[in-house]
């Protein structure tokens, strides 16, 4: 078994209005940051997983994202996977 560390970024799909992102952007514009645009708010999840190889680890993480970590109807996710030293 190999040991992996994963970073998962979850964000609303581009077609979904990000109300929280718009609120933060409006606040930024109100406080002298008008140059900041297209603000989107998401989630960042870090975890560790044991698997036979990177492909199996990615597959298990993808399944976890589809069922629990992300809402596949409204959200997209990106998984970064790094093998850890034994």
What CATH number corresponds to the domain at position 24?
3.30.1280.10
Model confidence at 4: pLDDT above 90: yes
pLDDT (tens digit, 9 = 90+) per residue, 55-73? 999 999 999 999 999 999 9
Q: How many domains does the chain have?
A: 1
Strand residues in the chain grouped as ranges (E): 2-12, 42-51, 75-83
- Domain extent, residue 51, equals 2-83
Mean pLDDT of 32-42: 97
CA atoms 17, 20, 21, 23: torsion sign: positive
């Amino acid at each position: 078994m190999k040991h992996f560390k994963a970073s998962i970024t979850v964000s609303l799909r581009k077609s979904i209005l990000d109300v929280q992102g718009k609120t933060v952007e409006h606040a930024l514009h109100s406080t002298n940051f008008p140059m900041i645009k297209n603000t989107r708010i998401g989630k960042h999840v870090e975890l560790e997983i044991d698997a036979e190889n990177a492909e199996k680890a990615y597959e298990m993480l993808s399944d976890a994202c589809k069922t629990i970590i992300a809402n596949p109807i409204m959200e997209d996710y990106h998984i970064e996977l790094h093998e850890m030293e034994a």
